[in-house]
Structure 1
Amino acid sequence: MAITQEPSRVFHDPLVGPEQTGLPDGFFDRLMFNLHPVDALSPSLITGFGIYPGKDTADGFVVVSDATEQRNLRFSTVLSATERDGAGPLRVEVVEPNRVWRLRLTQNEIGAEFDLTWRARTPAWFGEIAVTNASAQRTSFEHLFQSGHYEGSLTLDGTRVPVDGWYGQRDRSRGVRTMSGGQGLHIWYQAQFPDCSIGFLLVETRSHDRLLLEGAVMGEDGTLDGIVDVRHALEFTDGLDLVGGKVAVSTATGRTYLVDADARAGGGFMAGAGYGGHHGVSQGLDHVESDRFPLDGSVSPRMLDSALTDRLCAFTLDGVAGSGIFEFALTRSSSYRYRPSLR
């Protein structure tokens, strides 16, 4: 398997419209936003929406975690019956491409509602990832992530919480992605600090070889410093849950960032968002479902249909406190054991 990455010149931020015809059957166009306080580890909110034109399907999710419980809401519908601006109770709007989005969630069965405006605080990292593999369909997708601040409010069980100034990272991806099997460690790391966001995607094989590394240190001053190396020393439970650990991030300008993460807050299990292979699966018109996970240690990545977890963490960099999402997944293959690369 050979992987190449070339920087994209322009990222078309709105979701593709119905005028885009002839797309591959596996084509998707997806967005994801997270939302959390600058100086606290609760609540954590993650929401996403995606369209799959070849399957005439649109779906989305909302995951809300607090100190004791994770609430999950999933919804799906027929794409041709929508304006491509959301599904179920979620609506998304590009107010200004690559700068401002509006997200709205109306009343639903998990008791969460919001009216949010996300504004960019850093430039975006974006590129095109091409994967040559043995499958008949070539993997090629655009990928973007970018840090921002929020305005608006989040309502939980009737209690309105202002979110002005809260951190939030967004992720956009579009294309055909068939990377599966053989992965040992997956990390999507978004550490938010007052002057920058450190964001990268790292994937290693079960034999601990690097399969993919992309990302940048995105500065509030408009700078974008590409990441060229990441080493890690992490601690996981027997249930494959992350306790915490350090990463050393090296950039194209020669800087090294040694960041420590405390991941004990709990929650963010993305099985609740449909990441166990449910995205893009047609469930007919206006399908909505929900469930809840207790955060008392009885739920772990090992027992869910996806080990992927988006954990809200406390980060520390040179004595400066930060917060953000540390997305991780370890393979459940018995042949794999996590191995640190940072000594």
Structure 2
Amino acid sequence: MAEQAEFHDALIGPERTDLPAGFFDRFMFNMHPVEVAPGSPSIILGFGIYPPKDTTDGFLVYADGAEQRNLRFAGELGVTGRTGAGPLRYDVEIPNERWRLTLAANDIGVDGEIVWRSRTPAWWGEVAVDNATSTRTAFDHLFQSGTYTGTLRVDGAEVSLDGWYGQRDRSRGVRTMAGGQGLHIWFQAQFPEFSIGLLLVETRTGERLLLEGAVMHVAGHLDPITGVRHALTFDDGLDLTGGHVEVRTEAGRTYRVRADPAGRGGYMAGAGYGGHHGNSRGADHVESDRYPLDGSVSPRTLDSALTDRLCAFELDGTQGSGIFEFALTRSRSYTYRRTL
């Protein structure tokens, strides 16, 4: 996938009336301290529009050492518009460079005013995959490293976000990947001079179905990723306990990164990833719940195995941090196979 000069960062406007039935336009931000340890907070929020369905939805996930708090909200696009839903409002102040996010008071007690600024160029391209169904997956996909300023309030206690790391993800198109997936990895490892961002999907027999991404350098250049190997460990609940990811790039560089999960949490079932996005729920729908992080909740027990785990990373003695998103199929026909 070739690097593009500029990504159309604003969400699709009402002037587009020729969109296919499954079309979506979404963004997601994660945020966490630069240095992480067990119990460090991890915040993930997102929002999407589905113009053919006249629907919007979004989520907020907050996890620390004790629990994961989940807030999900939805609305009608014609009523709420394209600036947010529920407690979330956003503004693309400078496309591909600065976004402003505002969270109003809500049922999980996490609100604040947040500004994300880019610290690397964005990688983006088109994901195109033939499926077992007749509908072909084809969507634009972007990820980009940034830092935050602002304040978050957790149960009224202020937390400064100044200097925190955050990866953003943008996707737009039709995404209907179905059948045959064994391992999914969305790997976002942030280091002082660069961020390693990739999406890897393998079949249940270990063949590569999809690989995209790049090493995004603070100095302003991208080095596309050409190969990935992994040696990961999972517990009986399909939860990541650690391991290594080795990345090879177009420029001939090899990066072998060790990942150490900073506790539990980041279960994306709490964000509606169990097949709930884009479903109509009326004009102003809000719901919430909480997961204890004592081992009683896991990727095996929830309606989606997808997990965005806050990790400490290490590369040749340099410390980093970021989100390691993973999912193993729960099919009994699948066994994880290390490739490193």
- After TM superposition, the score normalised by the length of structure 2 is 0.98
Cα deviation for residue 22 of structure 1 reads: 1.1
Q: Which residue of 152, 170, 173 maps to 1:172? A: 170
CA RMSD of aligned residues (A): 0.9
1:228 is displaced (CA, Å) by 0.3
Corresponding letter in the other structure for 1:341: T
Deviations 1:30-72 (A, max 9, x none): 0000000001241100000000011110000000001110000
Contact 2:80 2:283 in 1 (8 A): no
Deviations 1:175-232 (A, max 9, x none): 0011121100000000011111001000000000000000000011001000000000
| Residue 133 of structure 2 is aligned to residue 135 of structure 1 | yes
Contact kept, 8 Å, 2:131 with 2:178, in 1: the verdict is no
2:167 maps to a residue whose letter is: Q
Mapped contact 1:146–1:170 kept (Cα < 8 A) = yes
* Alpha-carbon distance in 1 for matches of 2:262, 2:127: 32
1:105 aligned residue: 103
**Greater displacement, 329-338 / 264-273:** 264-273
CA distance in 1, matches of 2:89, 2:244: 37
1:17 aligns with 13
- Contact 2:30–2:42, Cα closer than 8 Å, also in 1: yes
The answer to whether the Cα contact below 8 Å between 1:153 and 1:163 also exists between their aligned partners in 2 is yes
Aligned equivalent of 2:250, options 249, 252, 265:
252
**Runs of 5+ unmatched residues, structure 1:** none
**Following TM superposition, by how much is the alpha carbon of 1:98 offset from its aligned partner in structure 2, in angstroms?**
0.3
| Partner residue, 1:124 | 122
Deviation of 1:139 after TM superposition, in Å, equals 1.8
Alpha-carbon distance between aligned partners in 2 of 1:259 and 1:45, rounded to the nearest angstrom? 23
Q: Secondary structure at the match of 1:81?
A: helix
Report the AA paired with residue 191 of structure 1: A
Three-state SS of the structure 2 residue aligned to 1:289 is strand
Count of matched residue positions in the alignment of Structure 1 and Structure 2? 338
Given candidates 251, 272, 275, the residue that maps to 2:273 is: 275
Please show how residues 66-81 of structure 1 align to structure 2 within 5 Å: 66-81=64-79
Q: Which runs of structure 2 are paired with 1:30-69 in the superposition (5 Å)?
A: 30-41=26-37, 42-69=40-67
Runs of 4+ in 1 over 4 A off after TM superposition: none
Moved more, 293-302 or 130-139: 130-139
Normalization by structure 1: what TM-score?
A: 0.97
Equivalences for residues 87-98 of structure 1 within 5 A:
87-98=85-96
Match of residue 319 from structure 2: 321
Structure 1 match to 2:293: 295
Letter of the 1:335 partner, please give it. Answer: S
**Partners in 1 of 2:286 and 2:55 — Cα distance?**
14
Structure 2 residue runs without a partner (length 5+): none
